[in-house]
Amino acid sequence: MSNIDLQDSQDMSQTTAPPGRPAAFSRDSAIEGAMNLLWRDGYLGVSASDLAVAMNIRRSSFYNSFGSRAAVFLEALDRYSKSAPDKVIDQLAPGEAVLPVIADLFRELCRQRAADTEGRGCLVCNSIGELIGVDEELGPVLLDAVEERVSVFERAIAQAISQDELDLPDGTAAAARLLVTFLLGINLLSKTVRDEQALWATCRSFLSNFGVPMAVLDKQQ
């Protein structure tokens, strides 16, 4: 899942380093390291010291440059969300066919999850299960992220209906929540089912029942 909004970070952060060590580090590389650790071990499973090691910075630089463990987590989620498979739905153009985009979204999700040898699933989805109702600062951010995804999918479904791609008697809101529920579920399933074809078979069945034509689902990429 995507879209955790944060202000873009600066590429470089200056620190006071001991002799023999560089006085500057790449913020981008540091957040990449933090993201991968959080994706693997979860927010509650890592300390500030663990993050500093993964980011290849001193603990003092960690606090001077990022402020807190929660701030690093949010920045890492923001980075992750920008390349999440469902990001394509945000880029849907007016008049563009919606159902092929939704099918491609799930195809790419299956490909990425199967290619992950660590079976980490989705960082945002993992964090939703880990932190909502547990962390008073981060839980509401993740709740907002879910609602934002529902809103994005609802707009896409409304566009599909207006273009006669779908006929959904229960309305757009229910359909959007159903899609987001499945998106969460398939990401969770991918942590145990590592085979791309098996994951896609599950997505194909769901999307067919949702109303995506087989001609769209069976199109070769």
Q: What average pLDDT score do residues 70-88 get? A: 95
pLDDT at 24: 67
Q: Confirm whether pTM is higher than 0.75.
A: yes
d(CA 110, CA 128): 20
Note the pLDDT of residue 7.
41
Mean pLDDT for the chain? 90
What's the confidence (pLDDT) of residue 2?
A: 73
Q: What is the mean pLDDT of residues 187-199?
A: 97
Looking at residue 220, its pLDDT comes to 65
Residue 4 scores a pLDDT above 50: yes
Question: Can you say how many angstroms the Cα of residue 33 is from the centroid of all Cα atoms in its chain?
Answer: 16
User: Is the confidence at residue 87, as pLDDT, over 50?
Assistant: yes
* Domains identified in the chain and CATH numbers: 12-80 (1.10.10.60), 84-217 (1.10.357)
Please report, for residues 6, 19, 68, 88, the alpha-carbon distance to residue 1 in angstroms, rounded to integers and kept in the order given. 15, 42, 24, 11
